[in-house]
Each structure stands twice: as C-alpha cells, then as structure tokens.
Structure 1
Amino acid sequence: MKISAELKAFEGRIGYSFKEPALLVRAVTHSSMSTPNRDDNQRLEFLGDRVLGLVMCEALLEADKQASEGQLAPRFNALVRKEACADVARQIDLGAVLKLGRSEMISGGRRKNALLGDAMEAVIAAVYRDGGFAAAKDLVLRLWGNRIHEVEEDARDAKTALQEWAQARKLPPPVYREVTRKGPDHAPVFTISAELKTGESEAATAASKRAAEQAAAKALLQRLER
C-alpha cells in the first residue's frame, strides 16, 4: 500500500518508516471519517494508551531510582494525560495529516486536544504493531524528550492541588468562573478565573475551559505558596 506525500513527510517527522503503511493510515483516521471499508483509530488509541503508560512507567523508574510511588504517580499522570499527548502531537504537526469528517473539519478538529491526544496514542500503537515494543518505546522517548526529566517534582493535577490547599486550611473549594469567551465557535478561547473564599484569585487563558481552569489553578497555587 502506498501512502500520500503528506504521510511520508509525517514519517520523517516522527523518525519511523512503516513496513505496513495501512497501520499509519488507520492511526490518523478519526471515527467521523470511518466507513465499512475504512477503520478508524479508536482501537489503536486504546492500545496506544497502554503502551505509552508502560513506556512512561519504565522511564520514570529509570530517571529517579529513589522516588516513591507517591512521587512517581503524579509525574506519570502529567506525562500521559490527554493534554500532554496533544502537545506532542502539535510538535510533530499530527493535526495536518488527520483524516476527519466534514463536521469535525468545520469545528476545528485538527486543533482539538481530545482528537490530537487520541491520534497520538493511535500512532504509538501503530508503531508498536508495526515494529514491536522497542520501536514504540524509542518513538515515545524521542518525542517526549526532556519532558520526562523536566516533569515537575510535584506534578499533581493543579485543580486537585489547589483544592487540597484550601481544605487543609478549612476553606471551601475553589470556584472557577468564565471571565471571557472569544473567537469563533469552532476555535474558542476561554479566560477562566480561579477564586478562593479569602478573595485571592488568578485568571488564565487557553483553548479549552479545562486547560484554562488548570492554568488558573496553577497560577493561584504558585502565588499562594510564594
């Protein structure tokens, strides 16, 4: 099976050439584009999530041989969460080669964290199926790069960390308010404020409410801990 010039260029960006190109085609095919004769990437995504997890577990254990499970778990979560996968997908311009249905094309699917993260996991699985675990491990370690060694010492979910900070001081949970929403419906930009009962607050802007909430919580927590 021959692949398009765009997918050939993508192979160059990820540093892996497929022996079975059909696996790559399936990995970049969203469910909105699937037909009875064309499989989508959902099953590969399921597998890729597990392969990524195993690679990251091994990498974190190797990177810090003294870390406890309690230290490793938040670092692991930070490296495998959907936002992290989407960031790596943007790094290799995975969105440019996604095969999307018309509705997802119109709604800006090539920029969505969920679609990019899922497709990144599917690509990992495709490499695993094509070249084995060693090839998939090499791909992940190369693409994630310094993220593994630079992951924050305490990489807890920022919203959870802020809530725990408030609970420890017998305060109500933080409140998140939408300050503004700008941009077209297919590519909105949100500014969210994280607020505590004491009056402290911080705002952040991102392409999704979840990301903006996380960024606002992180900014507020950093200010409080200073």
Structure 2
Amino acid sequence: MNEVFRRRRHAEQEETAPAAEAPVPVRESGPWDADEPHPDTERVDLGGMRLPIGSGFEIQLNVAGDQIVGAVVMVEESALQVHAFAAPKKTGIWDEVRGELSRELTAAGGTCEQREGPFGAELAAEIMQDGATQPVRFIGVDGPRWFLRGVISGRAIADPAVAKTLEDVLRDIVVVRGDLPMAPKEPIELRLPAEARQAVEQQAAQEGRPSLDPFERGPEISETR
C-alpha cells in the first residue's frame, strides 16, 4: 500500500511540476533585436533603431509632435519608410495590422492585395497621393516584443535590383526595444544621433530659433562615399 501511495504521489508531482520554458529560437536573418547576436556593420544609432547606411543613402526622420517616430531611407529614386512599435511578448501583431491596413486603404479609395514576399506575407497596394495613385509595398516583421513596419515606394516597385537594396536595409535593422512597459502598437521613440543633434542645435542657435524647428521639414542625414 505504501509503495502504491509513493508512486501515485510521484506521478502527481510530475503532472504539477512547471514545464521548462522552451529556448528562444536563434533567427538566421534580420531585422535583429539588440539583445541577440547580429552582424557588426555600420549603422546610424537612432536610439530605438539602428539603421544601416550605404553609399548614396539619404535618411530623413518622421516626426509626430516633438517625437521622432520613424525614418525614411532614400536611394536610387526609391524610399523605404520604417517604423518600430511595441508588441506583446508572446504574440506578433502583423496579421492584425495587415488586416487594419487593408481596410483603411480600401476605405480611402486605394487598392490592396496580399502577396508573399521575402519577409512573408506583405501588402501590394495603390494609395491616393496628390490626386494620383502610387504603388507601394507594406512589409511587416514581428520581433521579440516589437513589430517593424516597412513601406517601399518609388522605382523599387518595378526594379528588383533596387528593391533588393531596400530589402537588405530592412533586413539589417537592429531594433532596441528597451525594458520599459509599453502598450502594443505604441511607437518606439527614436532620437537624433549625437553629432546630428549638435549640428541642428548649433544651426538653430545661429539663426535664433528653437532647436526643434527643423523637425517641421524633417532632419536629414546623408551618406555620400
């Protein structure tokens, strides 16, 4: 009787013992998380995002109020707009965001079609801009506690070589999520690199205006080698 009791108790302990957490899989390509191994290449440090740079690249920053929330990489008559957002710890949000985008674009008079791209499901869309339609690609990548959205436009839509250049930029971005609690879909705030911030403030002081005024047009960082 005692032996049966011991076996039964041992079985109950096995059933109630907490399951060991599965190891986080190692990803073979980016975009990368700052806390995981990633290639050491030249990038512009924007705080919440480290953006790779290359010959002939021009970078502009997107601003909402007084916060930098995104960046645009321009090269060869094309543009890649990137925004990073907070996401839940265990679930991605690209499926949900993709559905929202599709409904919003259609309601605004555009067209939208889901396709398979190098990063998985993406949206091929035509949006209304300045009275004309413009083809764009919406790309989404779910990372650990973050979501990265990229929008490609311009010549890269029809030129595979230019498209690959921008796709490689997106693939080599490093997202710095940080440890602060954030609501899902809340933008991860960016900042000017120290040298660019100093140049903007010096120019503002010489012109006698507040240092954030240049954000009305969007600060620019150019790389010409």
TM-score by length of 2: 0.22
TM-score by length of 1: 0.22
Greater relative contact order, per chain length (Cα 8 Å cut-off, separation 6+):
2
Q: Please identify which structure carries the higher helix content.
A: 1
Q: Please identify which structure carries the higher strand content.
A: 2
